[in-house]
Amino acid sequence: MRSRDSISGYLRNLSAAVSYPFETWRGTIGLVAVTLATYVLLVLSTMPEFSLQMLGDGLHWFDYVLVSLTETIYRTDGLSSLGIIVLYAVLTGVAVVNAVAQLRLVGPTGLTDLSGVVPGLLASGCASCGAGLLGFLGFAGGLAALPYDGALLRIAGLALLLFFLGRAGHPERCAIAPEATE
């Protein structure tokens, strides 16, 4: 029975964490901004040299690069890979908005619950090789040798994000339930 209570408590915390950005306009705008920025970063990271060359020629190429790389992701890995990138971008937006709220409410010590999001931010995302932001750090070659073209790494990054969001819960409420006195 205790296991069932902990799972339902985790799911309540996850639901509260995901719904928190939608409680205010400021949170929703922050979520949308971070989600779009994360999506753009992840898409541009699929072919960093192409992105840098085109954008180096001028920002007027930005829309062409973004649409072209999104189409490349869809054509090479399908709708599931594009869905993983969108889900990853949304969950990153939720994590950042919640981290900012915790920082605002309780200071830097309150970020311990969301500190585990960092591995997910570094490990997930890239549609073509699974490298995510690690590709920008020079680890794309090693990650390209992973089985299933890095799909397991992307899913593990999403699982990390979900785990730590569920562990942290709503930033304005304590995620640890008080113990019942007997």
pLDDT tens digit string along 154-178? 777 788 888 888 888 888 776 555 5
What is the length of the chain? 182
Confidence of residue 125 (pLDDT cuts 50, 70, 90): very low
Tracing tokens 């591995």 back to the chain, one arrives at 119
pLDDT tens digit string along 85-103? 899 899 989 988 888 888 7
Which pTM value belongs to this model? 0.74
- Identify whether the C-beta of residue 116 lies closer than 8 Å to the C-beta of residue 167: yes
Could you tell me the CA-to-CA distances from 147 to 84, 119, 142, 143, 152 in Å, in that order? Answer: 17, 19, 11, 9, 8
Domain boundaries, the chain: 2-168
- Identify whether the C-beta of residue 102 lies closer than 8 Å to the C-beta of residue 111: yes
pLDDT beyond 80 at 38? yes
- Identify whether the C-beta of residue 16 lies closer than 8 Å to the C-beta of residue 27: no
- Identify whether the C-beta of residue 69 lies closer than 8 Å to the C-beta of residue 53: no
